[in-house]
Chains A and B, each alone.
Chain A
């Protein structure tokens, strides 16, 4: 459960920050360009930065209220924070890093024990080492474990993958998903939308020190209409599929996506296992009828839920068993006379499907 209510104003360097949002979704992302004020927002929530005015409430508890002269320091907020560069204590072993917050809890406050967390993040062999002897990805896993063992009522993640290269990112992503699934409310800050969408479809958009949108991707985008941030958002569909068949001879896999079958590039998972797939909204085309004699193998029938127009096109949300978002040229919406409730086929090239963590 999460109910974060924040309405704050402060001066950060030369630009004013004015942010108001209410977040009740247990897992959501904060998206914005570098320097837009995302980290400031996070630090205000954690209590590391004290706003000049406004108020903040988490799950009914007032943490900051300038009118009531109230400010709860970070160590009394019980909010965890994972930093971009892990910030492990270099003079402590991995084990003592992990237990740093855990030891400060009363036994009754502890929701997680060392062993399951170590297993979840696969850091068993590292326990005796010093942070200086760890790779970037290992450090970040330990930092996640350290925050988890503190059993925070809200876990803030500040660009935890930004310092890692593409290969390491893929390796850490599944761990983030595991952390998400243990049930701690999470706020994931990133300037990379694909990372956020990998974890959640709920975003808060931050632009020039303001919150310009909040909600599901399409809702937030609609609110943030015509900002440069919204225009630049490269939406992605992220689905969990179950692999049905790995056809090595012809180099493709077949998977179940909801009740539909979808052809994919060779899957990194074996038959019967699940995999996460991602397709850019701009890679999906729509047609009124099933098309014969075309190389696009996936033609998923569905019904249009809504159409959102943006500066360089239109976003069409379709219920095809799973929710599909397709980005098409604005003119074609008119040409095809697409409306909410209409039946369409989502055309997805197998080759446009990616495995973000595979």
Chain B
């Protein structure tokens, strides 16, 4: 099976967009996951619900909201453009932002759960051995949460590969810029003789998704062994 330049471009773009989306959400998911797992504060259910909204909303809704806020006419978008010369509009960065927003709850879930499962007693033990709060986090909490973080990251990456609705609403379907694999499949299917191409892209997507899930499983087991959990 040989791939046309268009298909290769879609594949590379998908990988780039998903990688950046995951990279973007990872630190935030770790911070939010920790806060949600450990802290009680007013309005916590609201914050929790807000982050999970993309999971249940029709994807064009977050896409449209992104367009309104981060598009060239949107408040945030205009500010970023004026002050930093940075734009999300109709380019791959916007696609990455859309993928990050949509996949964030999938990363947050496992990260939060793994923080919750680490007994606070282990952290107490570290504190009574002279470790300051940052030290406790980086030498005890974070390493022990690693399997959850990794699993969340791979899940979010896989979800980003498949992101369609929010992306097409926010940044459109521009070849080489925002046409990721799912958008390419959609485009090919609408071409009169694009069925071959669609089929090839579908097989590619299947292989990619399977690969990511298997890698997730393997990594999780490997890390658990290394952490002495099994």
A residues with a Cβ closer than 8 A to B are 43, 46-48, 73-75, 78-81, 83, 85, 87-91, 100-101, 104-105, 130-133, 146-147, 150
Contact = CB atoms under 8 A, between A and B. Distances in A.
Contacts of B127: 47-48, 73-75
A73 B131 CA distance: 10
A188 to B, nearest CB: 16
A46 B131 contact: no
Given A90-B229, A91-B228, A75 B132 contact: yes
A350 B10 CA distance: 89
Contact of A91 (B130, B131, B135, B226): B226
A132 B227 CA distance: 10
Contacts of B229: 90, 132
Given A75-B128, A75-B129, 4 more contacts: A73-B132, A87-B124, A132-B229, A150-B129
Contacts of B132: 73, 75
Nearest to B226: A91
B227 A91 contact: yes
Interface in B101-138: 119, 121-122, 124-133, 135
Contacts of B124: 43, 46, 48, 74, 81, 83, 87
13 contacts: A46-B128, A47-B127, A73-B133, A74-B127, A79-B128, A80-B129, A83-B121, A87-B121, A91-B143, A91-B227, A100-B126, A132-B229, A132-B230
Contacts of A90: 144, 227-229
Given A90-B144, A91-B144, A91-B227, A104 B125 contact: no
Contacts of B76: none
Nearest to A86: B125
B15 interface: no
Contacts of A133: 228
Contacts of A87: 119, 121-122, 124-125
B68 interface: no
CB-CB nearest 9 A-B residue pairs: A101-B129, A130-B228, A104-B130, A87-B125, A81-B128, A91-B227, A74-B127, A132-B228, A90-B228
B212 interface: no
Interface residues of B, number: 23
A74 B128 contact: yes
A43 B122 CA distance: 14
A233 to B, nearest CB: 29
A150 B130 contact: yes
A89 B130 contact: no
Contact of A89 (B125, B128, B133): B125
Given A87-B121, A87-B124, A91-B226, A105 B130 contact: yes
B202 interface: no
Interface in B63-96: none
B193 to A, nearest CB: 56
A100 B87 CA distance: 47
B140 interface: yes
A101 B228 contact: no
Nearest to A130: B228
A291 to B, nearest CB: 54
B181 to A, nearest CB: 37
A267 to B, nearest CB: 38
Question: Interface centre among A73, A78, A90, by most B CB within 10 Å?
Answer: A90
A75 B130 contact: yes
Contact of B129 (A100, A130, A132): A100
Nearest to B136: A75
A102 to B, nearest CB: 9
Nearest to A151: B130
A48 B131 contact: no
A82 to B, nearest CB: 9
Contacts of A88: 125
B122 A89 contact: yes
B121 A89 contact: no
Nearest to A101: B129
Question: Interface centre among B127, B132, B133, B140, by most A CB within 10 Å?
Answer: B127
B226 A104 contact: no
Given A83-B121, A87-B121, A104 B129 contact: yes
B148 to A, nearest CB: 13
Question: Interface centre among A87, A91, A131, by most B CB within 10 Å?
Answer: A91
Given A87-B122, A131-B228, A132-B228, A80 B143 contact: no
A146 B126 CA distance: 11
A158 to B, nearest CB: 10
A100 B126 CA distance: 8
Interface string B204-230: 000000000000000000000011111
Given A90-B228, A91-B144, A91-B227, A83 B125 contact: yes
B126 to A, nearest CB: 7
Nearest to B119: A87
Interface string B9-41: 000000000000000000000000000000000
Contacts of A105: 130
B131 A75 contact: yes
A132 B144 CA distance: 14
